[in-house]
Structure 1
Amino acid sequence: MKGVPVAGARVVVTGANRGIGLAFVQEALAQGAATVYAGVRDPSSVPEELLATGAVPVRLDVTSDADVAAAAETCADATIVVNNAGLHAGDRLIEATDPDAARAEMEVNYFGPLRMIRAFAPVLARAGHGSFVNVLSVAAIAPTAFMGGYSPSKAAALYLGGIARGELERYGTTVTSLIVGSVDTRMAAHVDGHKEDPREIARTGLAAMARGEWTCDTDLMAVESRARLARDPIRYEKGLSKLLFVSSLKTGK
């Protein structure tokens, strides 16, 4: 089953004020979306770059039941929902400085998409054909020690996508999970090396959604990470664990 064509679609994007979220807004409009609803936590402080796109700002904190319910009413004509909002607390999981950091990451990265899918599933079902796109990470496919609670939350969201797909397929709704590597965003500002253009991630993700792909590795880092994991999972995980101590030397934590 293929996803919804972007041209003429009505698209909701969470975490739309910058980075990958803003790129999805820009790319959807460039591909002819009829309307893009830009989910932001504070509509009174929308960045000029987002306002310039012509998207419709919508108050949408994915950790708020009230915000999500209101957005489902405001965006009642939606046909595509991009669950992009994310949180990386930058803390360890076991030896955490803030023991509540992992809970906050799970609230945004897992329960946020779950709230959105529960609220918008009836909206897409009424349209007769709809698509969810969940923006995840290479940290979802293997335990990534140096990313603390972020990795488990994205892994949970990956399974969420598969379960939602099984439940919603009978309504003509598709679910595509994007495995994203290193992207040139504020979240990855501390990362050295090549970083992908957020617009390229959005372009690749929307194309995968339209083809009806279940999971898509959006960039070279994601593809290579999956290949290394498949060849030697123990070595791959150990390599990720070593990066924990490299980052510790840099930050002093």
Structure 2
Amino acid sequence: MAHQSLWSQYLQIPVVTRTYTTACVLTTLAIFMELVTPYDLYFNPYLMIMHHQWWRLVTTFLFFGTLNFNFVFNLIFTYRYCYLLEMTSFRGKTSDFVMMFIFGAVATLTIAYFSELIFLGDAFTMMLVYVWSRRNPHVRLEFFGFLNFQAPLLPLILLGFSLLVGHSMEVDLIGVFVGHCYYFLEDVFPNQPGGFRILKTPRFLRQLFDPVEEEDPNYNPLPEDRPGGFDWGAPRPQPEPEEERQDEPGE
């Protein structure tokens, strides 16, 4: 019955985190099994427009490389900070989290169009990390067990790590920039004098991901579950007047 326990634990993962990380794993496995190649997945505006390969708008965010350390490292970070965001800042607000995904994808794709980047999964992960770090400024973290720092420094630590291992910082910087744009539009600007919320979640997303449960008209709650429980505050019933005793003759 171990597989049933694992399946139940898998289903307990929040829906957005579960969907995105599963798609990343399945994409990498498909490449490993040679069902597809990275050439079928990368961001290419020409192929999308001329050959209608619109799936590239999504698959460019799902590929982190072959099954190696870089893939495992990015997948762990993606799962961890996507999960933390969905369970804290976006708890009960799945539609807003989906809106964040849409904003991040559109902004990243726009930048990639002018910078000729083809795989954007690393940038998307960095965006998630950045937003989480800014919304949890007092959390202290450890990096590989020896570097202790507060959460807002995490993106800088990751940028330094990418530079140390010889990876390009361009993709990570794009993720930081997009993450900061979302943080500014959602958390900073609306709280300024005269500010307002720019990124408004469409109604259809709210209806799809955060439906309001309708009350059952035939539901009859218990007295303790009713407003005011047990009719607190209702007027007390008046005692019935006692019948007057009639004295019997001779008493």
TM-score (norm 1): 0.28
- Greater C-alpha Rg: 2
TM-score (norm 2): 0.28
Q: Which has the higher helix share?
A: 2
Structure number with the bigger relative contact order (C-alpha 8 A, sep ≥ 6) is 1
Q: Which has the higher strand share?
A: 1
